[in-house]
Each structure stands twice: as C-alpha cells, then as structure tokens.
C-alpha cells in the first residue's frame, strides 16, 4: 500500500473502529437493560374463572426456597430478567416445574397458580396497583434538596431533626 493510500485508509479505519465501539456500547446497554430489569411477580392462589384455588401449595421462584400458599393467598417475589422458573409442589407431594416470561415493559405481573397449572390462557397478566404512594423520605422535608451531613458521616450519630 502506498504512503498516500495508507494515509487515507487510517482515518477510515479509525472511524470504523469508533463506529464498532459505539455499536458494542449500545449493544451492552441493551443486554444489561434486558437482563437486569427488575420485576415484581405477584403469585396468586385465588379462584380464577373455572379454576378453583388450591387448598395448599408450595411455590419456589428460580430455585429459591418454596413459600406456602393457602387458598386465597397472594405474595410477591422480586425477580430480575424476563424468564423465570416456578417450582410448584402440590399437597400430595407432586412437583411441577413451570416457566413464565415477564414482558419487558411490565413492572409487575400477576401469576395465577390455578391457571398456570392448567396451562390456561391469562395465567400471567400485567398488574397495575391502584394507588402507588411514594415511599417516606429518609429524614427531613421531602422537598428539601440539602442534607446536613456528608456521605461519609455514618460513623457519627445523626443530630436530631429540627421540628417543622
């Protein structure tokens, strides 16, 4: 390759490498977002249409220790990612493994155990709480944007907050 050809090839190669880095960066962002997105699964053992609630069932999420559910119970599990495995142990000792997929755009989904065991439609549905109150702030007025102590002050006992 002549000197002139090399000279013109170098900026082009540089831009190709930069473009590739940009693509890798965006791809990493997407992968981390998809795999790291947190969801809440509400595990529901209630009557669902023609499917009655189970008297007693043990449900474990993604290999975690099973949680007991009696008829009418509902509990939540915090999960990460979209694909999850539910290990369901029935009252007679039968163990069933079921897989669910949580839609990426949904923060919270309701999983109906009776429907899931019956492989019926609607076993996993989005759930939107009616009123979501923001959590209480950690000390002080929620509209303040100054804090009295710095980030490394955890060794010092907190001074009592002034009454508003």
Which residues make up the interface to another protein (CB under 8 A)?
25, 28-29, 32-33, 35-39, 78, 80, 107, 132, 134-135, 137-140, 142-147, 150-157, 159
Q: Given the complex with another protein, which of 26 and 52 has the nearer CB atom?
A: 26
Closest distance of CB 115 from another protein, Å: 26
Contacts of 103 (CB under 8 A, 6+ apart): 82, 109, 126
Q: Given the complex with another protein, which of 5 and 143 has the nearer CB atom?
A: 143
Residue 51 half-sphere exposure toward CB, CA atoms < 13 A: 17
Q: Given the complex with another protein, which of 12 and 159 has the nearer CB atom?
A: 159
Answer for the pair 101, 124: CB distance below 8 angstroms, yes or no: yes
Closest distance of CB 78 from another protein, Å: 8
Q: Minimal CA–CA distance to 53: which of 125, 96, 121, 114? A: 114
């Amino acid at each position: 390759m002549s000197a002139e050809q090399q000279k013109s090839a170098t900026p082009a190669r540089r831009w190709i490498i930069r473009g590739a880095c940009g693509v890798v960066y965006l791809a990493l962002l997407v992968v981390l977002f998809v795999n790291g997105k947190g969801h809440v699964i509400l595990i529901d053992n209630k009557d669902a249409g023609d499917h009655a609630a189970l008297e007693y069932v043990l449900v474990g999420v993604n290999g975690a220790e099973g949680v007991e559910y009696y008829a009418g119970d509902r509990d939540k599990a915090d999960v990460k990612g979209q694909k999850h495995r539910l290990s369901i142990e029935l009252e007679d000792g039968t163990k069933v493994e079921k897989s669910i997929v949580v839609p990426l755009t949904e923060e919270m989904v309701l999983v109906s155990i009776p429907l899931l065991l019956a492989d019926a439609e609607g076993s996993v549905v989005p759930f939107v709480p009616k009123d979501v109150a923001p959590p209480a702030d950690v000390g002080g007025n929620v509209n303040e944007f100054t804090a009295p102590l710095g980030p490394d002050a955890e060794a010092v006992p907190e001074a009592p907050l002034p009454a508003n």
